Amino acid sequence: MELNVLLVCGSGASSGFMAANMRKAVKEQGLDIKITARSEAEIENYIEEIDALMVGPHLEYLLDEIDELIHGLPVKVILMKKEYYATLDGQAAVAHLLAELDHE
């Protein structure tokens, strides 16, 4: 089953690089995960199509707003960790994603 993951980080530039690095990691691990990067303003447009939403660490203040948007939808919201976000480490981000989805 394919997982749909949306990354948001503000401007979209760093999430674009992060998404590319995560796609590479996903491919290397043979996982069926689709990763898209968008600005936080677009979350609403995608919220019904995604399984997980990864949020840049500097957007932590948006989490309450995001919870309201999700409003009972089966979307896992994950706050990305500064450690891998700062270095755009796709492997670490995918590991975090999988660990979070495992805890459901």
Inter-residue contact 36 to 19 (CB < 8 Å): yes
Read off the tokens for 8. Answer: 């948001």
Given a cut of 80, whether residue 1 has pLDDT beyond it is no
pLDDT tens sequence across 86-101: 999 999 999 999 999 9
What is the widest separation between alpha-carbon atoms in the chain?
A: 35
Query: For the chain, which domains are there?
Result: 3-102 (3.40.50.2300)
Sheet strand arrangement including 33-38: 33-38, 3-8, 52-55, 76-79
The amino acid at 30? G
Q: Residue 63 has what pLDDT?
A: 95
* Rounded mean pLDDT, 63-81: 94
Q: Which two tokens stand for residue 101?
A: 């989805």
Q: What is the pLDDT of residues 2-59, one digit of tens each?
A: 899 999 987 657 788 999 999 999 999 999 999 999 988 899 999 999 999 999 999 9
CB atoms within 10 A of CB 100: 15
Integer Rg of the chain from CA = 12
pLDDT number for residue 11:
63
